[in-house]
Structure 1
């Protein structure tokens, strides 16, 4: 069973917004950057990425723009809006708090004379 997918689902928006704060990107480019920056640990299929992009657009956090690439090909580039930056900062703060709480639990060392009872 691959439980990493459960964590990734909630992280896609955070990762997309993080990358978009550096500049506009198209979908495939986002998947490649996530793969490269995670050194292959996180692979987001385009089919999983686009629903997140559409949700972010519906909320007004990102916008899209079609750009001509070459003579005939167009690409859709995604752009971080000011409200999206605020949302990213909140997601990052939430992530850091959850991460810190998980780390505290994973590294908890009970005191030798602890009065805590286990169920």
Structure 2
């Protein structure tokens, strides 16, 4: 089970480690989750655009070959703060859910 709300958290987490292009984020999430989480570009790119609009991330183009240009995404300071807030919310939610699920 995977909720869309976690996409923002995961994207910010991977961008906190280094600047990435879109497909690199998809691959990193899939690899880190041992293939349990597989994002489609149809899910990823709207999230990236929303994060840009909210000024949590920025984008820039980088030439990677003779003719190839990739769009990289960079985590801004506001995005780091947002990531910390989302991690705290996730941990609190997870703790409450664990308590509820352990009730007999």
What's the TM-score once normalised by structure 1's chain length?
Answer: 0.85
- Count residues in correspondence: 104
Q: Which runs of 5 or more structure 2 residues have no equivalent in the other structure?
A: none
2:21 aligns with 26
2:79 aligns with 84
Counting only pairs closer than 5 Å after superposition, residues 1-119 of structure 1 correspond to structure 2 as 4-5=1-2, 7=3, 9-109=4-104
4+ aligned runs moved over 3 Å, structure 1: none
Q: Which structure's residues are more often helix, by fraction?
A: 2
- Tell me by how many angstroms 1:46 deviates: 1.1
SS in 2 for 1:21: helix
The RMSD of aligned alpha carbons is: 0.8
**Greater relative contact order, per chain length (Cα 8 Å cut-off, separation 6+):** 2
Larger Rg, first or second structure (1 or 2): 1
CA distance in 1, matches of 2:74, 2:56: 9
What's the TM-score once normalised by structure 2's chain length?
Answer: 0.97
